[in-house]
């Protein structure tokens, strides 16, 4: 446990807010693992300011267990902290610092396991994944995932260590982030009825999204495993116009949907695009150039694992938990599952209680339980 805490102290000391580079932390992890005999594969983003790692120890090739976590954290700006966010502070049984829960506590436990595994004869490989830019829309693993099979080989199972209170999470919704760009006409506001106001298209589009939401609530699929058991829409921003006396010719609506696994993303997007086309057509007799273009600029898959599957039984055994849960937030697990890897989410801490909050902390008992799970994983790999 002391080694895990020492590693956690180092990890918290790296300010890896998503807007900043994570290369210092990646170099630390790389050196740590190389010194223990791991084969390392670094994957950089296009800017060269971010990188992720795939690493493996033991027999080469497919199989084994993959542990996965992200290295970035959310910002501290705008939050009132009473402790230094990028310095690990212990008070009683709690360890404070940005990322303790989400999710450097799990990363520290991964690395502590890596050290113990380096001294053991593994019959199955231990594989590790460290990603970037998870907090801005699960971006980094999307860029990394194609190299997994060719670099370290596909594992038999994958555990993603997002905070679940060490319960086994078998599902989360997928998400898409979109913008609707509404085109109208410029004109003087004194003659406003003669022009097609782009904000009018935008308002009508938002109303149509609300109608889609209502339909999903009343007639759509439901999953009682979630607090909100249906696919949801959310409009986060609407912008348009440059001056009060000018009819705006462009307005932009930014929105998202978070969908159940049984609601295919392609079908939802088709309904959105049909709504945009229908709204624009109402205005085209007055202005043929009226239109709404829908741009999906990010998306990540959900996760849906059968509660009686082998990976769930294994995870429950390793975590010493007989419960399963579903989480309201997104994770990287859907990308691993998309490769046919049996994947669940299980890690220390509480997203609801500590994640993304000022004075973020992790209970010692959670880290102890995570280290114990890692010991059970090691015992399986040694055989």
- Per-residue confidence (pLDDT) for residue 1, from 0 to 100: 81
> Taking Cα atoms as reference points, which of 217, 312, 216, 317 lies closest to residue 268?
216
Task: Count Cβ atoms below 10 Å from residue 309 Cβ, excluding itself.
Answer: 13
Strand order in the sheet with 232-240: 232-240, 250-259, 174-183, 291-300
Q: Per residue in 44-74, pLDDT tens?
A: 999 999 999 999 999 999 999 999 999 999 9
Strand partners, 44: 51
Taking the C-alpha atoms of residue 168 and residue 347, their distance in angstroms, rounded to an integer, is: 8
Rounded Cα gap, residues 329 and 3, in angstroms: 30
CA 288-289-294 angle, to 5 degrees, is: 125
Coil, strand or helix: which one is 220? coil
Query: What 8-state DSSP symbol labels residue 315?
Result: H
User: What is the token pair recorded at 218?
Assistant: 């009343």
Do the Cβ atoms of 114 and 132 come closer than 8 Å?
no
**Cα end-to-end span (Å), the chain:** 23
Nearest CA to 6 out of 111, 101, 84, 83 is that of 111
Query: Predicted confidence band at 383 (pLDDT cuts at 50, 70, 90)?
Result: confident
Q: Among residues 73, 109, 129, which one has the least CA distance to residue 343? A: 129
Mean of the pLDDT values across residues 294-304?
Answer: 96
- Residue 92: helix, strand or coil by DSSP? coil
Beta strands, E only, the chain: 39-44, 51-57, 65-70, 89-91, 94-96, 126-131, 157-160, 168-172, 174-183, 187-188, 232-240, 246-247, 250-259, 291-300, 303-304, 324-326, 342-345, 361-363
Which pLDDT tens digit goes with each residue over 202-251? 999 999 999 999 999 999 999 999 999 999 999 999 999 999 999 999 99
**For the residues of 63-80, what is the DSSP string, one character each?**
-SEEEEEE--B---TTS-
> Is residue 250 within 8 Å of residue 198, measured between CB atoms?
yes
Percent of the chain exceeding pLDDT 70 equals 100
| DSSP for residue 115 | H
Residues 6+ apart with CB under 8 A from 284: 290
pLDDT at residue 62, rounded to an integer: 94
Residue 100 near residue 349, CB atoms below 8 Å: yes
**Comparing 353 with 38, which gets the higher pLDDT?**
38
Task: Give 133's pLDDT tier (boundaries 50, 70, 90).
Answer: very high
Q: Residue-wise over 146-178: b if at least 16 C-beta within 10 A, else e?
A: eebeebbbbbbbbbbbbbbbbbbbbbbbbbbbb
pLDDT digit string, tens, across residues 301-343: 999 999 999 999 999 999 999 999 999 999 999 999 999 999 9
List residues bridging with 129 in a β-sheet: 54, 68
Helices (H), 67-225: 105-117, 140-144, 148-151, 198-219
Distance, in Å, from the CA atom of 47 to the CA atom of 374, rounded to the nearest integer, reads: 34
């Amino acid at each position: 446990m002391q080694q895990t805490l020492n590693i956690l102290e180092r990890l918290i000391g790296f300010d890896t807010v998503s807007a900043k580079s994570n290369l210092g932390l990646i170099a630390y992890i790389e050196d740590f693992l190389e010194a223990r005999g791991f084969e390392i594969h670094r994957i950089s983003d296009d800017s060269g300011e971010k990188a992720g790692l795939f690493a493996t120890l033991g027999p080469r090739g497919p199989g084994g267990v993959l542990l996965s976590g992200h290295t970035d954290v959310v910002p501290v700006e705008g939050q009132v902290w009473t402790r230094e966010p990028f310095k690990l502070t212990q008070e009683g049984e709690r360890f404070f610092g940005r990322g303790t829960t989400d999710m450097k506590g799990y990363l520290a436990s991964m690395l502590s396991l890596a050290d113990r595994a380096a001294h053991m004869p593994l019959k199955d490989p231990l594989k590790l994944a460290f990603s970037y830019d998870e907090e801005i829309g699960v971006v980094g693993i999307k860029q990394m995932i194609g190299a997994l099979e060719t670099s370290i080989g596909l594992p038999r199972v994958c555990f993603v260590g997002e905070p679940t209170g060490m319960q086994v999470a078998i599902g989360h919704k997928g998400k898409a982030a979109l913008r609707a760009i509404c085109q109208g006409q410029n004109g003087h506001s004194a003659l406003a009825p003669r022009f097609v106001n782009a904000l009018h298209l935008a308002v009508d589009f938002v109303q149509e999204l609300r109608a889609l939401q209502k339909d999903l609530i009343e007639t759509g699929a439901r999953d009682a495993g979630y607090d909100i058991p249906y696919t949801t829409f959310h409009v986060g921003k609407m912008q348009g116009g440059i001056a009060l006396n000018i009819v705006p010719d462009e307005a932009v609506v930014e929105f998202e949907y978070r969908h159940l696994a049984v609601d295919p993303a392609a079908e939802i997007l088709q309904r959105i695009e049909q709504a945009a086309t229908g709204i624009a057509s109402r205005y085209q007799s007055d202005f043929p150039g009226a239109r709404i273009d829908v741009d999906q600029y990010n998306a990540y898959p959900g996760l849906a694992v059968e509660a009686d599957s082998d990976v769930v039984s294994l995870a429950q055994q390793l975590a010493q938990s007989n419960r399963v849960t579903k989480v309201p937030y997104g994770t990287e697990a859907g990308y691993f599952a998309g490769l046919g890897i049996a994947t669940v989410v299980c890690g220390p801490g509480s997203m609801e209680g500590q994640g993304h909050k000022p004075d973020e902390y992790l209970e010692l008992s959670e880290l102890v339980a995570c280290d114990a799970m890692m010991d059970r994983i090691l015992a399986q790999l040694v055989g």
